[in-house]
A and B are shown apart, each in its own frame.
Chain A
Amino acid sequence: MAEIRLKNLAHSYNPAHQTEQDYALKPLDLTWEDGKTYALLGPSGCGKTTMLNIISGLVKPSEGQLLFDGQDVTSAPTSKRNIAQVFQFPVIYNTMSVAQNLAFPLVCRKYSDKDIKFQVDKVADLLDLTEYLPMAAKKLTADQKQLISLGRGLVREDVNAILLDEPLTVIDPQMKFELRRKLREINKRSGITMVLVTHDQNEAMTFADEVVVMQDGRVMQSGTPEILFEQPQNTFVGYFIGSPPMNFLPLKNDNGILTCDHTGFSQKMDKLPSKDQYSLGIRPEYLKITEQQNASFGIAKIIQIDDIGIDGIITLSFEDGPHIKLKTRDHKSLHLNGIVGLSMPPNKSLIYQNNNLISSNI
């Protein structure tokens, strides 16, 4: 077990790296506490796998250091790091049985037959694979293969960390729900640090104590799910976290007073360079529908109602103005083309200057 620190770390796959663009990972500094769950979240190509491979030792960073409990392991070989990794594109040994596939990491490390059987049975039970143990792996479906690959990552419990690279992509939502819970239980019981790579914000948020949001090789923000939801430091995080994404409405700057058309929103602030762009960030969850006479955030027309089960997603349009979405559990009482009032708690309205958060508690 160990604390993992990425210190001024950067990586370029291009040995002749010159410009920023050459870097798959731009310089970053992160510390991961021992025993917690983390998620790396971002669109494909943003550098998530690269970061995992640096931690496990498959990739040597072109700059900076990797520390386990303060010890520099930047150049230590994979075998010395004691890390389990579940790969994004797993290799399942088709000629082997499911049991042999699961046992593979243990056999490589010369565990006793007794220990192997114990660990394999335990992980198979956890993932509901027991009945498949004797089967040839090649007979399995894509989602079962993904479970085996996950099982291989979880089969050792003497590791510093378990790195999981999109292990749940072809698993259906019901199974995902179960697996998320099991992964968290393993983490609680064993105290092993877990890092999950995903492009699915819901998966990241529900799994991790702390989520690292990445874009284009950069860490856009790292924090608890609550912080990322309540205080996205930039418009990218506001967009990427949350479903539907945060609404952004343009703000006008009239000599230090920011106003938002159609909504009546206005806010005086000091030192607002007139050349900068300002926008108002509104979470669909905090926007509420009210009687027209009680509207404190303008009047709008309902142009779409999407019923997604417990919640409804309502799309509204201000007169000749922008669209805005809200999320509610009272969608059954609403009507298409209805004109409604809106309200928004002022302390949940966030102001962005050139896409960066400048005010949160107005």
Chain B
Amino acid sequence: MLSLKNISIEHPKTPLFNISYNFEAGKFYCILGRTGAGKTEILRALMGLEQLSNGEITLDDENISNRVIWKRNMALVYQQFINYPHLNVLDNVIFPLLRQKIKKSVARQKAISMLELVGLSELADRKPSQLSGGQQQRVALARALVKDARILMMDEPLVNLDYKLREQLREEFPKLIHQSPDSVILYTTTEPKEAMQLADELLIIDNGQIAGHGKPHDLFENPPNLAVAKVISDPPISFVKGHIENGKLIGSDGTILQQSGLQHIANGEVQVGLRPDALSLGGELTSRVVLTEINGSETIVHLNFSFGQAVMLLDGIHMFEADQKINVSLDTNTIMLFSLDGQNITKESN
């Protein structure tokens, strides 16, 4: 187990505040957050590239906070696929093993089977420059995997690849990586769908802090706070102002958004989260279309209500003119309510 205990870092741009978390071996952890939230900073802290101003890092209960990077038993895959340009693919994968003082013949054998695993056996003799982006990133992955490191970190590894390749590697990566039950796997991304698909456990980072963690689906259905709600969905959740009055939810213009069932929430202002699939065509709410985006099978409609702006995701293709008036309904089961300090207060138990 890899543990972060009250880690803080004083960094001018992306400081970290009091991060504590236990990562278990054999699990795939995704760290999701916006650009600049502190995702890479956490990985850098783990590697010992940032001075901790507080806290400690332990691996199997042993404090590794002061260990030099190459003694931390870690492997990293970067955004920019970094391979040695002068070495062919096979030697690129052998190289980290030789540095670990593994015998050449053993290293070679390991590298060959790793290339087989990532599907690059036939390209073993090529130089990195003769490979496509996706192939280069698979070489980088093979180089990281072959070390059998206890901690495997991937920092937005797909961000520089074509979208279709990303889709393909997103399917391949977990299959390749899940073969090492002793390793902790950390994977950072800004893409909610990618994180949802890959993660066994999901951590949301916001402003240098862990804003939430848990099973992806639970975080999606029931984000603990606004910071999580703001990054967990694509298309994003819309937020409007409202207030609770005797169990009713009322929009800023007086529209009743939910008739009843909210007695457990004290009267007063709340922030209302509307999932894109919470709105559907036909109903009581009047809105004006701001913009329609069609992404093939679905239509994303940006709507102006008298209580604010919200995005509606519809199955199928629907054409609306800008400024067209349409009526929609709101599925009250998926409404999320947040207190003014950002805590999710929708459910009674909260």
Contacts and interface: CB of A to CB of B under 8 A. Distances in A.
Interface string B185-212: 0000011110011000000000000000
Interface stretch (B69-77, B137-145, B232-240): B232-240
Interface residues of B, number: 44
A226 B294 contact: yes
B34 interface: yes
A206 B294 contact: yes
Nearest to B230: A174
Interface in A235-265: 239-245
Interface hub of B163, B196, B220 (most chain A Cβ within 10 A): B163
Interface string B291-320: 101111100101000000000010101000
B191 A173 contact: yes
B196 A309 contact: yes
A57 interface: no
Most B CB within 10 A of own CB, among A172, A175, A309, A329 = A309
Interface range on chain A: under 10, 10 to 19, 20 to 34, or 35 or more? 35 or more
B276 interface: yes
B133 A44 contact: yes
Contact of B162 (A43, A188, A226): A43
A16 interface: no
A310 B233 contact: yes
A310 B300 contact: no
Contacts of B294: 205-206, 224-226
Interface string B273-300: 0011100000000000011011111001
A177 B235 contact: yes
Contacts of B291: 181, 184-185
Given A184-B291, A310-B233, A229 B296 contact: yes
Given A173-B234, A244-B167, A206 B196 contact: no
Contact of B220 (A241, A243, A309): A309
Given A173-B192, A309-B220, A283 B297 contact: yes
Given A177-B236, A229-B297, A243-B167, 6 more contacts: A43-B164, A141-B35, A169-B159, A171-B35, A242-B296, A244-B167
Interface of B: 13, 34-36, 133, 159-160, 162-165, 167, 190-193, 196-197, 216-217, 220, 230-236, 275-277, 290-291, 293-297, 300, 302, 313, 315, 317, 322
Pairs A-B, 8 closest by C-beta atoms: A229-B296, A206-B293, A172-B190, A285-B297, A200-B163, A199-B162, A225-B294, A308-B193
